Amino acid sequence: MQTILFHIVYGFFRLLAMLPLRLLYLLSGFAYLVLYYVAGYRRAVVAGNLRNAFPEREKEELVRIEKQYYRHMCDLIAETVYQSALTAREVSLRVRYTNPEVAGRYFEQGKDVAGMLGHCNNWEWMFGYPLISPFRCVVIYRPIKNRVFDGVMLKLRSRFGAHLVPMKVAPRTIYNYRQQGVQTITAFIADQSPPPGSTPQWHTFLNRDTAFYAGPEVIARKMKMAVVYLKMKKVGRGYYEFEFVPLADDASAVSEGEIIRSYVAELEKHIAEEPSHWLWSHRRWKHRREVQL
């Protein structure tokens, strides 16, 4: 039954993806009107997150950012649907890497790379990076509870050769590739809430005490990986640019906590530059630091 449902859902994605992207964007505009004005999808969450993040900004500006965010979010849905139809040529036209020589330098030095990114712009479209990368591209992800949609997203994200693995097997995966003499670049979406049972790092992020999962730093330090921030900017509707921002040439050579701290600083600057393009509807601040008595 799971297999049948998978083919039905994926087939529906493929059917919708036959529509031109410009038509999907028209549907995105309609979805924005429904989600924002009719359903009010998580509007209280978005508004509260924006107020806390930018207390110095006027209410009118925050409302403008809020509306831009919902338009952007609906565009992301349209682009995810279209993802199943993207060709290698179209990916290369729509997603550009401005300074690939940074990653190239690490490859020449024989280093594995940890690429840390946030929920900014269309992070899903990084799935085309294996087409131009000398590295084996590994993407760390959290499995979706619904197994059918999890399978659909895995298929969409791995179309051009990315190897998707859950966080719990990431160290073993990277180690195995290293044993085989295969260099890896591993992408971590590092602004998610830490999973239950983990020991988080706490940093001030968007004016709040925020828990960050330490796993990416622990893995990078243990494996002596170079670390970069993957900064994705929107340059037009359906067009993006990636910039590699070096954080550490060797994660094991910097003090504990410094990798996540540097990542948080870069992510905050990025959000300030494009405030409507981060995932504001995410209930990011569910955790509270325990007070030591």
- Cα distances from 108 to residues 102, 103, 112, 148, in angstroms, run 10, 9, 10, 40
The pLDDT assigned to 4 comes to 55
The pLDDT assigned to 293 comes to 41
The pLDDT assigned to 5 comes to 54
The phi, psi pair for 99, rounded to 5°, reads -140, 60
Dihedral (Cα; 128, 132, 93, 27), 10-degree rounding? 0
CA distance 29 to 78: 10
Here the tokens at position 203 are 């940093």
Q: For residues 241 and 235, is the Cβ–Cβ distance under 8 A?
A: yes
Q: Mapping DSSP to helix (H, G, I), strand (E, B) and coil, where does residue 262 land?
A: helix
16-51, pLDDT tens digit by residue?
778 899 999 999 999 999 999 999 999 999 999 999
Q: For residues 174 and 112, is the Cβ–Cβ distance under 8 A?
A: yes
Query: Would you give per-residue pLDDT tens digits along the chain (293 residues)?
Result: 556 555 455 566 676 778 899 999 999 999 999 999 999 999 999 999 999 999 999 999 999 999 999 999 999 999 988 988 889 999 999 999 999 999 999 999 999 999 999 999 998 888 899 999 999 999 998 887 777 777 877 888 888 999 999 988 999 999 999 999 999 999 999 998 888 778 899 999 999 999 999 999 999 999 999 999 999 999 999 999 999 999 999 999 999 999 999 999 999 999 999 999 999 998 888 877 765 44
The pLDDT assigned to 292 comes to 47
Here the tokens at position 144 are 């979706």
The model carries a pTM of: 0.91
CA distance 62 to 78: 25
Q: For residues 233 and 86, is the Cβ–Cβ distance under 8 A?
A: no
- Cα distances from 162 to residues 39, 45, 137, 188, 216, in angstroms, run 36, 33, 5, 13, 18
Q: For residues 259 and 213, is the Cβ–Cβ distance under 8 A?
A: no
The pLDDT assigned to 242 comes to 94
Alpha carbon 97 to its chain's center: 16
Q: Domain ranges for the chain, please list them.
A: 1-85, 96-278
Q: Mapping DSSP to helix (H, G, I), strand (E, B) and coil, where does residue 97 land?
A: strand
The pLDDT assigned to 7 comes to 45
Q: Which residues lie below 8 Å from residue 78, measured CB to CB, with a gap of 6+?
A: 21, 24, 25, 27, 28, 31
Alpha carbon 238 to its chain's center: 16
The pLDDT assigned to 12 comes to 60
Q: For residues 288 and 131, is the Cβ–Cβ distance under 8 A?
A: no
